[in-house]
Amino acid sequence: MTPTPATPTPANPAPVTRIDDLPVRDELRGQSPYGAPQLDVPVRLNTNENPHPLPEPLVARIAERVAEAARNLNRYPDRDAVELRTRLAEYLTRTGGHAVTREQVWAANGSNEVLQQLLQAFGGPGRTALGFEPSYSMHALISRGTGTGWIPGPRNDDFTIDTEAAKAAIAEHRPDVVFVCSPNNPTGTAVDAGTVLALHDAAQAVKPTMVVVDEAYVEFSHRPSLLPLIEGRPHLVVSRTMSKAFGAAGLRLGYLAADPAVVDAVQLVRLPYHLSAVTQATALACLEHTDTLLGYVDRLKAERDRLVEALRAEGAEVVDSDANFVQFGRFEDTHAVWQALLDRGVLVRDNGVPGWLRVTAGTSAENDAFLDAVRTVLKAAAPAADAAARSSEPSA
Ligand SMILES: *Cc1c(COP(=O)(O)O)cnc(C)c1O
């Protein structure tokens, strides 16, 4: 029999239970959660948020639609979010270069939940997912969370995808799911349609494989969306979000476009009524103001380009960016540069890519503050000859 534990006293505190003391699944032992620091500093350029608050007319419209929804909160929401999916399909049709219907669109609480549902349906124990690293760390984390084995695939030194090396990795590992992030987080690198098609076809030649194109940042890209690739390819999925270009990270709304059969498949694993009536009402209000919201995108693209030029003018190496952020380096001691910028009130992201940091394009005042800080810090830190530097965070 276990003795009754003594009542804790200040001198004799109760023992601290750690995760590994619990019967958690083996693959979760010793792991760290997703953890971009949320620090209260003047200039926060570390999580690729849109720096512009929603315009007041939209805030008023959200209040109106949420009030309407509130009158029915005694009822469960529309389980299939039909109106919202219809509006999202219209948005994609108008901007994505390809007509899609609401049967081809699915929505969830952030694209992270969309990705989780895809992995619950197409990954899981005994199956694997492959992504080309460095890339969005949540692809690996959600894989782990769903019991899907994770396979890090290769990238070139300039962070583009080497099609031949990628095809070889697919042939070797026979993944069930392949992630292609375009534009890629954290490097900003866009992937062209030819590369995605080559990977898709190479994967299908091995076995039926779902190819998930994560287009979280596509509205900021110089290149068109890869949405048209879903046509006639039931194994190809495009995932999107309202967290970045729409400036609604707090809303938690992500969506996918794919063959209607994919939408049927994710419905097998989604929780009933997963998307609250309040979320659906808010997202619908935002979609009524699409043009205003996307107006900010052009400004942010210009700011992004300004950051690239200014950083290069300071002698930094900068990866070409198709997103609302810029990866810059290279530093001998990446963490020291990250800390020195933070000491000057500017929070950027250390994604654990040796030698590199990532900065989100903010307002022009925020970007000025960042560039001022960089000028001071870069003078102190010589660029690394090679990128064998240590880094503070384990993942992108
Ligand atoms: C930010 C981001 C997302 C968005 O996630 P949400 O859950 O929709 O906020 C998805 N993919 C990538 C690559 C991202 O960087």
pLDDT confidence of residue 39? 84
pLDDT tier for residue 152 given thresholds of 50, 70 and 90: very high
Give every strand in the sheet of 325-329, ordered side by side. 317-318, 325-329, 356-360
C-alpha torsion 83→85→90→93, nearest 10: -170
Question: Region 170-185: what's the mean pLDDT?
Answer: 98
**Quick check: CB of 131 below 6 Å from ligand 1?**
no
**Quick check: CB of 185 below 6 Å from ligand 1?**
yes
Question: Region 380-389: what's the mean pLDDT?
Answer: 50
pTM (predicted TM-score):
0.92
**Quick check: CB of 115 below 6 Å from ligand 1?**
no
**Quick check: CB of 327 below 6 Å from ligand 1?**
no
Domain count, the chain: 2
**Quick check: CB of 181 below 6 Å from ligand 1?**
yes
pLDDT confidence of residue 395? 44
pLDDT tier for residue 12 given thresholds of 50, 70 and 90: confident
Task: Kindly report, residue by residue over 59-105, the tens digit of the pLDDT.
Answer: 999 999 999 999 999 999 999 999 999 999 999 999 999 999 999 99
Best residue among 185, 221, 255, 286 to mutate for probing ligand 1, ranked by most atoms within 8 Å of CB: 185
- The answer to whether residues 201 and 274 belong to one domain is yes
Boundaries of domain holding 296: 36-52+292-382
- The answer to whether residues 378 and 270 belong to one domain is no
- Quote the percentage of the chain above a pLDDT of 90: 85
Task: Kindly report, residue by residue over 228-237, the tens digit of the pLDDT.
Answer: 999 999 999 9
Neighbours of 368 (CB within 10 A): 14
- The answer to whether residues 261 and 311 belong to one domain is no
* Secondary structure class of 52 (helix, strand, coil): coil
Question: Region 376-386: what's the mean pLDDT?
Answer: 66
- Per-residue pLDDT at 277 exceeds 50: yes
**Quick check: CB of 360 below 6 Å from ligand 1?**
no
Picking from 287, 322, 337, the residue at the C-terminal end of a domain is 287
- Quote the percentage of the chain above a pLDDT of 70: 94
- The answer to whether residues 311 and 220 belong to one domain is no
pLDDT tier for residue 112 given thresholds of 50, 70 and 90: very high
- For position 342, which CATH number holds? 3.90.1150.10
Closest CA to 231 of 363, 91, 85, 101: 101
- Per-residue pLDDT at 346 exceeds 90: yes
Picking from 287, 305, 332, the residue at the C-terminal end of a domain is 287
pLDDT confidence of residue 2? 55
Tokens read off for 83: 């109106």
Closest CA to 299 of 348, 363, 247, 358: 363
pLDDT tier for residue 388 given thresholds of 50, 70 and 90: very low
Tokens read off for 353: 């890519």
Nearest-angstrom CA–CA distance, 211 and 236: 5
Question: Region 130-159: what's the mean pLDDT?
Answer: 96
pLDDT confidence of residue 381? 59
The helix (run of H) or strand (run of E) holding residue 70 is helix 56-70
Ligand 1 midpoint to CA 182 (Å): 11
**Quick check: CB of 105 below 6 Å from ligand 1?**
no
Nearest-angstrom CA–CA distance, 264 and 276: 20
pLDDT tier for residue 186 given thresholds of 50, 70 and 90: very high
Q: How far is CA 32 from CA 17, 20, 53, 209, 318, in A?
A: 16, 12, 31, 29, 29
Picking from 287, 307, 339, the residue at the C-terminal end of a domain is 287
Task: Kindly report, residue by residue over 296-337, the tens digit of the pLDDT.
Answer: 999 999 999 999 999 999 999 999 999 999 999 999 999 999
- Per-residue pLDDT at 384 exceeds 60: no
Give a yes or no: residue 148 inside a domain: yes
pLDDT tier for residue 13 given thresholds of 50, 70 and 90: confident
**Cβ-based burial of 255 (10 A; exposed 0-12, middle 13-18, buried ≥19):** buried
- Mean pLDDT (the chain) is 93
Give a yes or no: residue 344 inside a domain: yes
pLDDT confidence of residue 34? 79
**Quick check: CB of 183 below 6 Å from ligand 1?**
no
Best residue among 136, 274, 395 to mutate for probing ligand 1, ranked by most atoms within 8 Å of CB: 136
- Per-residue pLDDT at 132 exceeds 50: yes
Tokens read off for 107: 């929505």
**Quick check: CB of 117 below 6 Å from ligand 1?**
no
pLDDT confidence of residue 390? 40
- The answer to whether residues 101 and 136 belong to one domain is yes
- The answer to whether residues 278 and 328 belong to one domain is no
Ordered DSSP codes for 186-248 = TT-----HHHHHHHHHHHHHHS--EEEEE-TTGGG-SSPPSGGGGTT-TTEEEEEESSSTTS-
| Higher per-residue confidence, 236 vs 15 | 236
Ligand 1 midpoint to CA 383 (Å): 30
Looking at ligand 1, which residue's alpha carbon is closest to its atom 12? 216
- For position 233, which CATH number holds? 3.40.640.10
